[in-house]
Structure 1
């Protein structure tokens, strides 16, 4: 059996969840492919080995219709698995389902409308002239395939999916579906395979207290709160290591401009290299802020730290307290002072913090491993037969 994972934008964050699902599907001994549009210059993430990726250049309407026509024949799996509730993934997947009768799964790891204000958002052009501009001008907003207006329409079609997978309680309450966490390959992410001091030396981090954020900073992810905490502490041996960076805008540059003293940036790396990088961390920080977008997410960085047995510092937002339980350190969102106090506590009692990290790894193996995800997904797929 072959599963086609359909991604709205391979140059955006949805590719990471698709690659994870691809690893789970391979664990079930199914053939898998990742198929999707690419609106940016390069892939957002580097695919795991053995997972083929087929990308079609994304365009605005009306040219996007031709892009759809090009993509549809590439979706040749026995099961269609749309990643994200967007017109360019779920909408296109519905077309394939209607044409072929193949079963359709929908995966959601975000509430897409949360990026625009949630249920309060509405399209208010103000005049027919503005509607014309939005539809026909070169930069007209309604020419973009995943404009929030189209996303809002697409939400009405959720019931047309044969099965739904979600990764947070927020999404379950809103859309239903089967809980499928943002897990980790705990065999690949095995701290026993790496020496932290050697990793720190390799990446130029020796001599520092390494706080690591292994992902793309965005305002709702709270990286600024960690940097403000480092200003409070004002200790020269602290560094925040950001792995990769934001492909969306110049947010990274703005962080560096204001807080460059504390930041070390490591280039985006393939998943096979990430365990060695995370091994260099003393503490993994996931300081989500209290926003709609954050509440709907299961931060993948949590399981990066948990799988590698690292002390984990995060915030009381969404499912995070339930995910890490008592195996990490929690502070209130948007509280640099609490972050600073907790960092001091961690490094003053680092043996205790390391013990919590080991407990976090055991929790990750039991609840958030590729193996545990595979058990859940196999049950979902069996219901399609």
Structure 2
């Protein structure tokens, strides 16, 4: 997302570690990135102490005048800090998640993931010590801005990259095998308990409406959380696996209402779902939790609910289903708000100021 905005005015290089999981350990891109027209340099991941060699390989390939470290994690921010020591290259830290909360060890966490993994809990805690050491900071919400400082850069999309009318609903619904008479509630992204996905099914069950289908796009049915929901709600839930970003507009065409019912837990407090931007760009009526900066973007063009409230979620779904004209109008207002606040042009304008400031005060030898 950052690269797509910045490539309008800058030459971009994307570098990173391919960790992967299981049999894909040490290789493989995140699936949504595979369809993007971006050149990405990868170094195979490893546990410490082997990862020191990976760090050296990455640092040797960094040629930029400014390094943007995506997330305060050791394989990004840590490498950027070491690179600055060697090359004097300024760093901009980008924060869009509570990484410590994301890496809190569970009951069954393996020792080498807890201690030796570069993305593990202790490595991430170490990076938090240096959270104010960057030359500038991009934050996705005011919550993170209060902790890290810097400026707010929203999740943005190309103004014409996602827009309503790219696909016909009836065509997509037919392709996916969805009963065209059913109303579709959609969640597009990685379904997790912290994102309140189960509450949507509870709300639909409370309404006792047989004409409603909940569609999740981006789910892995081998995950216990999602497989459990499928077993409990076989006639209400449809799951479509992870998809490349280039196909997201296709699936949005089949969705009548988008839900983003974030829970009030530590991993969600400052989180701004990128799918909020996508849904607004696609002119979809949105129901979302009153959390982080979500109200700032959809106060006048969406329905806000208290995190965790099944009753409020059910009422919001019912209201939108019973008021289709108002739902359509709400989606059009969301599209307008997207164009004003959440495009890549908006991102670029903010980022350019910080990049230029970093370059003007840096000791980088090319300046």
TM-score, normalised to structure 1's length? 0.85
Take 1:244 and 1:143, find their aligned partners in 2: how far apart are those partners?
29
Match of 2:30 in 1: 44
Residue 22, structure 1, aligned to residue 22, structure 2: no
CA shift at 1:288, angstroms?
A: 0.4
Alignment of 1:74-153 (within 5 A): 74-115=61-102, 139=112, 141-153=114-126
Greater shift in the superposed pair: 164-173 or 47-56? 47-56
Greater shift in the superposed pair: 49-58 or 350-359? 49-58
Could you tell me whether the CA contact under 8 Å between 2:113 and 2:120 is conserved in 1? no
Take 1:349 and 1:170, find their aligned partners in 2: how far apart are those partners?
34
Say which structure, 1 or 2, has more relative contact order (CA 8 Å, 6+ apart).
Answer: 2
Take 2:231 and 2:14, find their aligned partners in 1: how far apart are those partners?
37
Residues 244, 140 of structure 1: alpha-carbon distance in 2 compared, 3 angstrom cutoff: closer
Partner deviation per Cα, 1:277-325 (whole Å, 9 max, x = no partner) = 1121100110101112111111111111111001101111121111211
Match of 1:366 in 2: 340
Match of 2:296 in 1: 322
Match of 1:191 in 2: 164
Take 2:324 and 2:184, find their aligned partners in 1: how far apart are those partners?
13
Unpaired runs of 5+ residues, structure 2, are: 360-367
Match of 1:155 in 2: 128
Tell me the SS of whatever aligns to 1:160: coil
Could you tell me whether the CA contact under 8 Å between 2:162 and 2:281 is conserved in 1? yes
Match of 1:380 in 2: 354
CA shift at 1:191, angstroms?
A: 0.4
Match of 1:35 in 2: 15
Could you tell me whether the CA contact under 8 Å between 1:82 and 1:107 is conserved in 2? yes
Take 2:2 and 2:253, find their aligned partners in 1: how far apart are those partners?
24
Match of 2:365 in 1: none
TM-score, normalised to structure 2's length? 0.89
Take 2:221 and 2:123, find their aligned partners in 1: how far apart are those partners?
23
Residue 233, structure 1, aligned to residue 213, structure 2: no
Unpaired runs of 5+ residues, structure 1, are: 1-19, 122-133
Residues 31, 63 of structure 1: alpha-carbon distance in 2 compared, 3 angstrom cutoff: same
Tell me the SS of whatever aligns to 2:239: strand
Match of 1:61 among 48, 63, 73: 48
What is the RMSD of the two structures over their aligned residues, measured on CA atoms? 2.1
CA shift at 1:146, angstroms?
A: 2.5
Partner deviation per Cα, 1:99-137 (whole Å, 9 max, x = no partner) = 1112211100012122367xxx9xxxxxxxxxxxx9xx9
Could you tell me whether the CA contact under 8 Å between 1:108 and 1:165 is conserved in 2? yes
Take 2:162 and 2:114, find their aligned partners in 1: how far apart are those partners?
42
Partner deviation per Cα, 1:156-199 (whole Å, 9 max, x = no partner) = 21232111100011100111011001122231111033322222
CA shift at 1:24, angstroms?
A: 0.6
CA shift at 1:140, angstroms?
A: 6.4
CA shift at 1:138, angstroms?
A: 6.8
Greater shift in the superposed pair: 46-55 or 245-254? 245-254
Tell me the SS of whatever aligns to 1:183: coil
Tell me the SS of whatever aligns to 2:112: coil
Take 1:211 and 1:140, find their aligned partners in 2: how far apart are those partners?
36
Alignment of 1:3-18 (within 5 A): none
CA shift at 1:233, angstroms?
A: 1.9
Partner deviation per Cα, 1:309-344 (whole Å, 9 max, x = no partner) = 011011111211112111001111111222112111
Tell me the SS of whatever aligns to 1:54: strand
Take 2:146 and 2:153, find their aligned partners in 1: how far apart are those partners?
14
Alignment of 1:182-261 (within 5 A): 182-205=155-178, 206-245=180-219, 249-261=223-235
CA shift at 1:249, angstroms?
A: 4.6
Alignment: residue pair count: 348
Could you tell me whether the CA contact under 8 Å between 2:91 and 2:134 is conserved in 1? yes
Could you tell me whether the CA contact under 8 Å between 1:82 and 1:90 is conserved in 2? yes
